[in-house]
């Protein structure tokens, strides 16, 4: 059985620095008919469980710990019997949402999460958040970028624990070297490709966007 990508969009809010915004989040499930991993657990456990079905969930992988990406992670993990994994540099943000519940394990740069005969390689890409990661699958030709990279530019860096120079360095050094036809599946909005990002990157940096 070949690995595949399932997707849903859920709606809710994002809160940080005393402000709250309405947001639509992508949730991604990667696996085959037997097992899978969930990438981010935003606003609706039921919608994610519907994608999972009766498959074994190997892990809930958090691209970063802003509340719109991890708000439902503990509830989902309990429901499907899977560990929540997060890069340790994002614990400061995790504790804003889940002060009494730690993640079950860590994601480390270079780590490969195996599922359904493929590997998801962890790329530490700080900037939007200190522990932000992207997950690259060479077999599927896809990189899941969370809020590090979107079709329209880098993730936002105007709030606490973020930095524009850091995020653009992460994109330049960790993501742009991937094959040009690699599909970029972000945490919000439409997909793009690494080739399209390369063509726009210098303009983004020049205008500070």
pLDDT tens readout for residues 86-121: 999 999 999 999 999 999 999 999 999 999 999 999
pLDDT-derived band at 185 (thresholds 50, 70, 90) equals very high
In the numeric block, the tokens 């469980």 are attached to: 49
Asked if pLDDT for residue 1 goes beyond 80, the answer is: no
Mean per-residue pLDDT for 6-14?
97
Tokens coding 203 = 């303009």
Q: How confident is the model at residue 193 (pLDDT cuts 50, 70, 90)?
A: very high
- Give me the mean pLDDT over the 81-86 stretch: 98
Strands 4-16, 153-154: pairing kind: unpaired
pLDDT of residue 112: 98
Percent of the chain topping pLDDT 70: 100
- Sign of CA pseudo-dihedral 56, 62, 68, 71: positive
CA distances from 75 to 34, 54, 159, 160 (A): 22, 17, 27, 26
Residue 78 has pLDDT above 70, yes or no: yes
Q: What is the pLDDT of residues 123-170, one digit of tens each?
A: 999 999 999 999 999 999 999 999 999 999 999 999 999 999 999 999
Using the Cα atoms of residue 175, residue 90, residue 70 and residue 59 in order, give the sign of their dihedral: positive
The pLDDT of residue 209: 73
* Averaged pLDDT of the chain: 97
Q: Quick check: 208 pLDDT over 90?
A: no
CA distance 44 to 71: 9
Does this model's pTM top 0.85? My answer is: yes
Copy the structure tokens of residue 186.
């972000």
Token pair recorded at residue 18: 């005393």
């Amino acid at each position: 059985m070949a690995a595949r990508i399932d997707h849903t969009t859920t709606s809710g809010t994002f809160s940080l620095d005393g402000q709250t915004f309405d947001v639509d989040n992508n949730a991604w499930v990667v696996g085959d008919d037997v097992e899978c991993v969930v990438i981010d657990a935003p606003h609706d456990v039921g919608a994610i469980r519907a994608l999972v079905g009766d498959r074994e969930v190997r892990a809930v992988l958090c691209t970063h710990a802003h509340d719109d990406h991890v708000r439902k992670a503990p509830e989902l993990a309990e429901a499907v019997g899977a560990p929540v994994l997060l890069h340790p540099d994002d614990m400061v943000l995790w504790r804003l949402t889940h002060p009494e519940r730690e993640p079950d394990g860590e994601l480390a740069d270079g780590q490969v999460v195996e599922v359904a005969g493929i590997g998801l390689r962890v790329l530490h890409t700080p900037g939007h958040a200190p522990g932000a990661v992207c997950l690259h699958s060479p077999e599927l030709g896809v990189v899941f970028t969370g809020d590090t990279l979107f079709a329209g530019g880098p993730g936002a860096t105007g709030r606490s624990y973020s930095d524009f120079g850091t995020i653009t360095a992460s994109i330049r050094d960790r993501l742009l070297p991937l094959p040009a036809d690699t599909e970029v599946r972000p945490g919000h909005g439409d997909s793009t490709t690494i080739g399209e990002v390369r063509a726009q990157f210098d303009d983004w940096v020049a205008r500070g966007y």
